[in-house]
Amino acid sequence: MRLRIVDALRKLNPLNRSEDNSLDVESLLQEANHLSTKGEHNKAQSLLSKLAKHGSMEAEFTLATKYSQSYEETFSTLCACAKKGHQEALLWVGHCFATGQGTEKDMNKAKRVYMTLAERGHPEAQFRVGELYDNGWEVEQDSAKAASWFLKAAESGSMFAQSSIARAYETGRGVGKDYDKAELWYRRALENGDELAEGSLIALEARKLLDAKPHSAK
């Protein structure tokens, strides 16, 4: 694998181009990630820059999210990637509009981005739409619609949505109260890395115990 990466790196050098111009972009992206993990950020950034110049949108996206010098530069690059069809870049553009990082805050534009991606089945975008309805941001507050979007996102693997739909089942917000379903989704969230879900499970057990009707003495 290391030899193949070295060979691919040579092809990135215009002085060493052969007739075969194919690049193992995926391996090079993995190598850049490996370098970044080791703390060799200059090497990682150099490799990503070369890949971006050769047309890799993923490299361009990674440069924007990890190595941009300003929020404005990040936003500009993300917009360019989004216009080329990069879904994650478009999601990040939505985040920029929602937070006002790199551009003027505009929740309406953020909503339009999230809605567009959510309708295409993007899990995190579905979770964000759920948040919009849950909080009444740029839409009429609707707990049932919020829960519906949280459930879609949770079923697609969104950790945050799994905790959100669990909380909805625990409290009965937007759905019928169901402690068993709440426990199921908290456990899935915990398995996916949501450390706060462990505390939520303990609180749920306490709620079950305290809400239980006492048995009548015989």
- DSSP one-letter string for 202-217: HHHHHHHHHHSPPPPP
Given this model, what pLDDT does residue 24 score?
84
Q: What is the pLDDT of residue 184?
A: 98
Quote the pLDDT of residue 212: 76
Q: Which amino acid is at 38?
A: K
Residues of the chain scoring pLDDT < 50:
1-21
End-to-end alpha-carbon separation of the chain, Å? 73
d(CA 53, CA 56): 7
Which pLDDT does position 58 carry in this prediction? 94
**Could you report the per-residue pLDDT of 99-123, keeping only the tens digit for each?**
999 999 999 999 999 999 999 999 9
**How many angstroms separate the CA atoms of 57 and 51, rounded?**
9
Please count the other Cβ atoms lying within 10 Å of the Cβ belonging to residue 44. 22
Domains, the chain: 1-13+26-67 (no CATH), 71-105 (no CATH), 107-212 (1.25.40.10)
Write down the pLDDT at residue 3.
39
Structure letter (DSSP) for residue 194: -
